[in-house]
Structure 1
């Protein structure tokens, strides 16, 4: 077993254990009274901290030479390889007792996504991929959709408070104006994973953070989706915009939403 294979196997085990922990702490359906806000619509629950602490400790024991970065605690250990964790992506859903949320764990070397694991325990789904070995959902291979026309496409437009709302309205208007169906599910990582699985034709967001995409970048690449160069520039530190799309619509969609500089 190679070092990367061992890391993926370990990451799946740790992420599934962390997801089970988070699921055990999920509140019942309601108005998210157990959650706090870090900023507008930026939710935080007790489970976020507990899940991140569990994963950080487990990875430190398994791979003490690797670096670690979590959404809640920031950069911890330094290392040539960096694990990046979102302990609960889709916290607004989680805090209301809903099912669409996940634990997202990726491994990055320099500006390359080496592997990723995304576990959505309430949906009983585990996405996984490592560089050069394909992507899977619950152990079965997945591929991006074969869609070639925007008028047949379903596209998720993620919202970010870091960009003015009028830019989001324009994004939605441009996507729908091109004839595509628009969706928004409250979890960027899961929306991107749906593109990898062919359940969505594209995901677009004007700003998203590293911990939201670190796991799914490898999954998308191995599933054959086309993805804008998120890790270029200061994307690793400050986040970036992103398009992930089925190959047959990626170029046209990039033009529609103003990503003309992306060479598909």
Structure 2
């Protein structure tokens, strides 16, 4: 019999999956009229953009969570939060890969995680372009729609393709040494513009792993939960104030992770 704590966790898990699909479908409606969307740049980084779609989807999701779980906290990429101290925190990026979204590339997604008492326990990534819902809850395994997923079976980096990401928040010295080692050891890489989506692909065994020297929590946390529940390994993302400052992300199978870890310049806590 489930305990009340498990009942509460599973209720949020079911709601998170449904909400990700609803939020992703709303984002897709904006995607179909993207040429008419007004966009703004965040600060001086011309690669970091936000659109009306990001803001309206996040507002929709935030209101739905407040109605269903009024005592939970919320951390969104666009609206921020004042709720980090709450026991349950929903962490949301309404459109991860906004540049891809605005340029008509089908590599963006809706990204959501739930952190309870400082532990990431639910991760959901929804790709509305391909109707794929990647979802995981602590103790329940990781899934793509209704099919359970697991990491890539490769035993070395030469056995598959590695997902990587970077941004102007870090220097080339933080990122290029990893690529150099990967290539020297016979590996290959792909970057599609959405770290959350590539992390989900890694948990599903499409990629051998994912590395990014710095990810914000709304993009990094869902893949952390997905890979752990799929049976792989990740770094401790929430160490060193990761929920407030972001952190490095490395995730892969048990066989590949130790090899990748040697090439990461940032401390993996």
TM-score of the two chains, using structure 1 as the length reference: 0.93
The aligned runs of 1:1-264 (5 Å cut-off) are 2-27=7-32, 34-38=38-42, 39-77=45-83, 79-258=86-265, 262=268
Q: Shift of the alpha carbon at 1:168?
A: 2.4
When structure 1 is superposed on structure 2, of 152-161 and 202-211 the one drifting more is 152-161
Q: Is the 2:27–2:53 Cα contact (8 Å) retained in structure 1?
A: yes
Secondary structure of the residue aligned to 1:117 is strand
Alpha-carbon deviations, 1:115-138, whole Å to 9, x = none?
A: 121111011100111100101001
SS in 1 for 2:237: coil
The superposition leaves residues 151-185 of structure 1 with CA deviations (integer Å, 9 ceiling, x where unpaired) of 22311221121111243232222221121111111
Which deviates the most, 21-30 or 239-248?
Answer: 21-30
Work out whether residues 197 and 223 of structure 1, in 8 Å CA contact, stay in contact via their aligned partners in 2.
yes
- Considering only aligned residues, what root-mean-square deviation do their CA atoms show, in Å? 1.9
Structure 2: which 5+ runs fail to align? none
* SS in structure 2 of the partner of residue 257 of structure 1: coil
3-state DSSP class of the match of 1:256? coil
In structure 1, stretches of 5+ residues that fail to align are: none
User: Which whole-Å deviations, capped at 9, do the CAs of 1:200-255 have from their partners, x for residues lacking one?
Assistant: 00111111111112222211110011101111111111011111112111101111
